[in-house]
Chains A and B, each alone.
Chain A
Amino acid sequence: MEFLDILLEPLSYDFMVRAIITTALAAVVCAVLSCWLVLIGWSLMGDAVSHAVLPGVVLAYIVGAPFALGALVFALIAVTLIGVVRNTSRVKEDAAIGIVFSSLFALGLVLISVTPSQTDLNHIIFGNLLGVSIPDLIQVLVLGVVAFVILILKRRDLTLYAFDPTHAHAIGLSPKRLGALLMGLLALTSVVALQTVGVVLVVAMLIIPGATAYLLTDRFNRMLVIAPVISAVCSIAGIYFSYYLDTASGAMVVLTQGVVFAAVYLFSPRQGLIGTRLAKARRRKAAAVLVA
């Protein structure tokens, strides 16, 4: 089979086209957000919020409200609860996060088990890339674009918040409000990604692209380009792999991102384990040639 045929064949199915559009969009939005999450050290928070929105999404489904609304409400509840448990007991933050998100996730599973039409909701957990409907696509499109535009417009403030919240405060901005904005966008983005890879794997899309880009550059602005490009390419490649290898699509997307991270981790010229050694060896060789 020709390479072009390999690329074009899946596109003859509408469901594959919808899957690719949804995934690429979710991948880009998640990747942009992930740049801040990995720098602030909010990866675990990303994990927590993406799991904790489950009951919100289920409840929204039951009452017929938009998923994003339920997700935002439960993201807020999760963050508040984590703060309360951490600040008012001797339990440390990582434990507080673990307790709150797993409990809320469990609540979501319980709600799914008592809600008729279970099949639909189970897709939220593992994602249902190949079953994306037109309304799903529109919802992802709207939420994704909203989150993306806010992130890009407020990128400088968010970076300031990530780097030096004290300075943000000193010049009259509110670090609290910027943190809340980022948290809200995290909830929104989680909903976008649920559709694609499901609750369980959202966190991968929220961490891996940013971490990968961080190993490749020393400039935040470049991270904001590298992360979404890598993420989108990996995601689309993942879908093709899943199509031809007949494997789970959401999982394949995440696996591809993980493999690319591993490659960058090893071979990045700046930070890579092997890449830096190769560069050093090259320099030494060049120096030796100069001496000779």
Chain B
Amino acid sequence: MSTPAILVENVTVHYGEVLALDSASVTVDAARICGLIGMNGSGKSTLFKVIMGMIKPDAGRVLIGGQAPTKARKEGGIGYVPQSEDVDWQFPLSVRDVVMMGRYGHQGFTRRPSRADRSAVDQALDRVELGEYAERQIGQLSGGQKKRAFVARGIAQGATMMLLDEPFAGVDKRSEATITRLLRELASDGCTILISTHDLHALPGLCDEAVLLMRRVLMHGAPEQVLQPENLAMAFGLDVLNRDLPEPAHPAAVVHPATTESRG
């Protein structure tokens, strides 16, 4: 089997006394879209931070395309689409300015954009269909357009892996469909995509696989399978059908069905 795009192996993270991730292991193959679901505080953002190397895990290791995260970051392989509430939408930058920030890793000391940088930005903007909005201040976009602007930044960067934090929060159904189509296109071009989301309904149409997280990986499999009520109950502590469910005996059961095979 080829080198996985994302390898998280037995990663444990504490914040002071609080256990955020408990020996979590996730492997995602290249060009796959993987949805990360779990409650608030289930460790989704912590897992993101570990993958990006912003937190050093207490135990375990992370490899990005077989490399240490530091090296993968330097090579510009990791694109990041932040959660809406983490962005200052009043910031005086145009959509083009934001997308250009994807090119900084390719540029010199003062980050003066070259012709290649400009054309990469134009192409990325066209790709996400924001060409006509390029000169708008970023806050003047709709929810879905804002997300696409940040995806464009990852495209301009040439990221081979993208992390999206709650991309569907505050996004209407039509924009959600546009973003889903865009991400599927990127994946078919070889980009590996990891999405943390609350939007369980979008999961089957968007993701090749899903990870159910509750400090540890409860389950990793096809979205349809992970979304089974009894499985969601393990992570969310409730069942969509409002039945009383018995405590799961082995919450750490990891299922690896055929969906995780590499597409080559």
B-contacting residues of A (Cβ < 8 Å)? 39, 153-154, 156-157, 159-160, 162-164, 166-173, 214, 217-220, 222-223
Q: Contacting B92 at CB < 8 Å: which of A168, A171, A223?
A: A223
Majority SS of interface residues in chain A?
helix
Known: A157-B111, A159-B93. 17 other contacts (CB 8 A): A153-B109, A156-B110, A160-B101, A160-B104, A166-B52, A166-B80, A167-B80, A168-B104, A170-B52, A170-B78, A170-B80, A171-B157, A172-B70, A172-B74, A172-B75, A217-B92, A219-B97
Do B93 and A171 touch across chains, with their CB atoms under 8 A apart? no
Cα A37 to Cα B50 with chains together (Å): 29
Q: B15 within 8 Å of A by Cβ?
A: no
A/B interface sample: 30 pairs, CB < 8 A: A39-B88, A39-B92, A154-B110, A156-B111, A157-B104, A159-B93, A160-B101, A163-B91, A163-B93, A164-B82, A166-B52, A166-B54, A166-B80, A166-B86, A167-B80, A167-B82, A167-B153, A169-B53, A169-B54, A169-B73, A170-B52, A170-B79, A171-B76, A171-B157, A172-B75, A172-B76, A173-B105, A218-B92, A219-B93, A222-B92
Do B91 and A39 touch across chains, with their CB atoms under 8 A apart? yes
Q: Interface size bucket, B side?
A: 20 to 34
Cα A141 to Cα B129 with chains together (Å): 48
Q: B94 within 8 Å of A by Cβ?
A: yes
> What residues of chain A lie closer than 8 Å to B116, measured between beta carbons?
none
Cα A159 to Cα B86 with chains together (Å): 16
Cα A222 to Cα B75 with chains together (Å): 32
Cα A39 to Cα B92 with chains together (Å): 9
Do A156 and B104 touch across chains, with their CB atoms under 8 A apart? yes
Do A219 and B54 touch across chains, with their CB atoms under 8 A apart? no
Do A172 and B73 touch across chains, with their CB atoms under 8 A apart? yes
Cα A223 to Cα B87 with chains together (Å): 20
Cα A168 to Cα B76 with chains together (Å): 11
A-contacting residues of B (Cβ < 8 Å)? 52-54, 70, 73-76, 78-80, 82, 86-88, 91-94, 97-98, 101-102, 104-105, 109-111, 137, 153, 157
> What residues of chain B lie closer than 8 Å to A171, measured between beta carbons?
73, 76, 78, 102, 104-105, 157
Cα A219 to Cα B138 with chains together (Å): 10
B76 to A, closest residue via Cβ? A171
Do A219 and B80 touch across chains, with their CB atoms under 8 A apart? no
Closest Cβ of chain B to A31, distance in Å, is: 15
Q: Which of B76, B92, B98 has the most CB of A within 10 A?
A: B92
> What residues of chain A lie closer than 8 Å to B102, measured between beta carbons?
171
Do A166 and B82 touch across chains, with their CB atoms under 8 A apart? yes
Q: Contacting B137 at CB < 8 Å: which of A39, A154, A157, A218?
A: A218
> What residues of chain B lie closer than 8 Å to A222, measured between beta carbons?
92
Do A169 and B104 touch across chains, with their CB atoms under 8 A apart? no
> What residues of chain B lie closer than 8 Å to A169, measured between beta carbons?
52-54, 73
